[in-house]
């Protein structure tokens, strides 16, 4: 599809709108986007992607004034299923830019007022979903929504008296599950291995996308409705399933995410200057690591790799090269993520892969790479990258970020937990109960690296599953 340019002048605004309307006419109204959209599952009264697209063809100015535009979470599920290949989240991003320009933030505020009725960390959720940085939304708008929201929250006064439930992990899924269970009257304790609660919100999603202060203040609010959060407490190390059962926890929700980063399997991965993606992003967000003047190389082709590369540029790297061993066609990252990384100045190089990490006194200074060509399809159906003999070359690098995928850390799961070969927890999809009675799971540890709306949907289902389990056992 043709590229829709950035909004610059008023005349260009009309041209962009015309272009989106003409693309919207290609919609066959098959409804697959709506059927696959997690935001429809969360906000069925507010958002229907194919309805919005048809409105765009009828009255685009009305769409710009409306609040429906602010619900898309840019997850790309619809794009992957659309028979016309329409890049829905990209239209939405462009329309949001126009909407703010023409109508200010009143429609965004209206969407937010709906979000806050369901999500206990609404500003965090909104920020992650709408990507304020992509539409150049002034950060003060998000800050204002946050301070207004904090002042409006009614503190829960009555203590919960129901059975005790343990929630492991305080990311998108754990917090949502805890909130739902507390609403049902359960006494909830969250056990979190890190010092800060919040999971990926606190440790991985870059500060310019999601300020840590907002995340922590929203989580702090959850403590007041009677949810206890014990940080620095790792399940499997500091507490076990048996102990929780002895302490009368009637059910457990495992929401431990996917934090085990895959390795390249080449020598030198332990060198100074070599990071896995999650450690790298945490070093930027929590330790304010300086990258000024550094040459950064990122390996990988997924959304997290793009986020790490874009963040490297934002944090001052002199250059950031992202190496992907296949072509753009096979790249799993969403188009918006790729565009964003390129806009930040990341140089994406295809059909190249690292084969050696070199350094002085175990400190990285060079990466040895090889050119690749595509061979026969592998088990994933994608053509296998095959090294081109004699094509070795050297890249100078101060920092290497290995971003080739994450999976759940299975070591902390109770022994009897049934998992897939990727380490994800197998659950009953209706109740989210695992192979262990009374132990439920939701979020990235069930789905593999996924999205915040997916984690929320799973956690709400798990809360209902726990409630049914307790009422019937």
Ligand X SMILES: Cc1cc2nc3c(=O)[nH]c(=O)nc-3n(C[C@H](O)[C@H](O)[C@H](O)COP(=O)(O)OP(=O)(O)OC[C@H]3O[C@@H](n4cnc5c(N)ncnc54)[C@H](O)[C@@H]3O)c2cc1C
Pick from 4, 42, 53, 167 the residue near ligand SF4 by CB under 6 A: 53
3-state secondary structure 60-108: HHHHHHCCHHHCCCCCCHHHHHCCCCCCHHHHHHHHHHHHHHHHCCHHH
67 touching ligand SF4, by CB under 6 A: no
Count CB neighbours of 65 within 10 A.
14
The answer to whether 127 contacts ligand SF4 (rule: CB under 6 A) is no
Q: Which stretch binds ligand SF4 (CB under 6 A): 6-14, 76-84, 285-293, 360-368?
A: 76-84
Strands 352-360 vs 363-377: parallel, antiparallel or unpaired: antiparallel
Distance of CA 28 to the CA centre of its chain: 30
Q: Which listed residue (194, 320, 417, 419) binds ligand X by CB under 6 A?
A: 194
Decide if 428 contacts 420 (C-beta within 8 A): no
Cβ–Cβ under 8 Å, residues 249 and 469: no
Q: How far is the CB of 60 from ligand SF4 (least distance, A)?
A: 16
Q: Which of 73, 253, 425, 432 binds ligand X (CB under 6 A)?
A: 73
Residue with tokens 């929201």: 149
Contacts of 374 (CB under 8 A, 6+ apart): 326, 327, 330, 351, 383, 384, 385, 386
For residues 169 and 231, what is the distance between their CA atoms, to the nearest angstrom?
A: 9
Answer yes or no whether residue 134 interacts with ligand SF4 by CB under 6 A.
no
Question: Is residue 166 a contact residue for ligand X (CB under 6 A)?
Answer: no
SS3 417: coil
Are 322 and 300 in contact by the 8 Å Cβ rule? The answer is yes
50 binds, among ligand X, ligand SF4, none (CB under 5 to 8 A by kind): ligand SF4
In 3D, which of 348, 352, 320 has the Cα closest to residue 333?
Answer: 348
Instruction: Specify the stretch interacting with ligand SF4 by CB under 6 A; choose among 70-78, 131-139, 311-319, 322-330.
Output: 70-78
Q: Give the residue with the Cβ less far from ligand X, 17 or 142.
A: 142
User: Which entry of ligand X, ligand SF4, none binds 193, CB below 5 to 8 A by partner kind?
Assistant: ligand X
Site for ligand X contains 137 (CB under 6 A)? no
By CB under 6 A, which span of 66-74, 231-239, 351-359, 431-439 interacts with ligand SF4?
66-74
Q: Smallest distance from the beta carbon of 176 to ligand X, in angstroms?
A: 8
Taking the complex as a whole, the smallest distance from the CB of residue 27 to ligand SF4 amounts, in Å, to: 3
Helix (H) or strand (E) holding 208: none
Contact residue for ligand X among 173, 274, 305, 312 (CB under 6 A)? 173
Compose the 406-445 pattern: x for residues touching ligand X by CB under 6 A, - for all others: ---x--x------------------------------xx-
- Let me know: does 296 contact 327? Beta carbons within 8 Å: no
Structure tokens at 458: 């799973």
Binding site for ligand X (CB under 6 A): 73, 128, 168-174, 191-194, 199-200, 204-205, 234-236, 255-257, 259, 281, 304, 307, 409, 412, 443-444, 450-453, 455
Binding site for ligand SF4 (CB under 6 A): 27-33, 36-37, 39, 49-50, 53, 72-78, 82-84, 86, 88-89
């Amino acid at each position: 599809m043709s590229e829709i340019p950035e909004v610059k002048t008023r005349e260009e605004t009309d041209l962009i709108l015309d272009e989106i309307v003409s693309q919207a006419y290609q919609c066959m109204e098959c409804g697959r986007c709506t059927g696959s959209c997690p935001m429809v599952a969360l906000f069925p009264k507010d958002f229907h992607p194919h309805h919005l697209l048809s409105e765009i063809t009828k009255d685009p100015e009305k769409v710009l004034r409306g609040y429906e535009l602010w619900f898309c979470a840019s997850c790309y599920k619809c794009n992957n299923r659309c028979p016309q290949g329409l890049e829905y989240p990209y239209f939405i991003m462009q329309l949001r830019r126009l909407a703010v320009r023409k109508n200010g933030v009143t429609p965004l505020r209206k969407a937010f007022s709906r979000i806050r009725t369901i999500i206990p960390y609404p500003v965090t959720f909104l920020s992650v979903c709408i990507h304020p940085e992509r539409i150049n939304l002034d950060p003060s708008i998000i800050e204002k929504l946050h301070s207004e929201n904090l002042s409006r929250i009614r503190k829960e006064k009555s203590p919960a008296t129901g059975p005790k439930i343990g929630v492991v992990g305080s990311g998108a899924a754990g917090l949502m599950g805890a909130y739902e269970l507390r609403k049902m009257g359960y006494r909830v304790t969250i056990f979190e291995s890190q010092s800060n609660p919040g999971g990926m919100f606190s440790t991985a999603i870059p500060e310019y996308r999601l300020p840590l202060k907002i995340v922590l203040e929203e989580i702090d609010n959850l403590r007041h409705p009677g949810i206890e959060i014990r940080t620095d407490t790792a399940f499997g190390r500091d507490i076990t399933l048996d102990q929780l059962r002895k302490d009368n926890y009637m059910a457990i929700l495992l929401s431990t995410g996917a934090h085990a980063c895959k390795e390249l399997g080449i020598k030198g991965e332990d060198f100074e200057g070599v990071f896995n993606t999650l450690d790298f992003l945490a070093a930027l967000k929590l330790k304010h690591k300086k990258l000024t003047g550094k040459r950064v190389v990122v390996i990988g082709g997924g959304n997290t790799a793009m986020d790490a590369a874009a963040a490297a540029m934002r944090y001052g790297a002199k250059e950031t090269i992202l190496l992907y061993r296949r072509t753009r066609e096979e790249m799993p990252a969403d188009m918006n993520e790729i565009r964003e990384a390129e806009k930040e100045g990341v140089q994406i190089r295809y059909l190249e892969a690292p084969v050696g990490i070199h350094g002085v006194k175990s400190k990285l200074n060079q990466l040895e790479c090889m050119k690749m060509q595509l061979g026969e399809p592998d088990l994933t159906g994608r053509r296998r990258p095959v090294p081109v003999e004699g094509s070795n070359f050297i890249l100078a690098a101060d920092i290497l970020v290995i971003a080739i995928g994450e999976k759940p850390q299975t070591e902390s799961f109770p022994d009897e937990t049934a998992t897939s070969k990727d380490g994800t927890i197998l659950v009953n999809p209706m109740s989210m109960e695992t192979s262990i009675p009374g132990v439920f799971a939701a979020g990235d540890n069930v789905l593999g690296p996924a999205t915040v709306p997916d984690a929320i949907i799973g956690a709400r289902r798990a809360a209902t599953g726990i409630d049914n389990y307790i009422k019937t056992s």
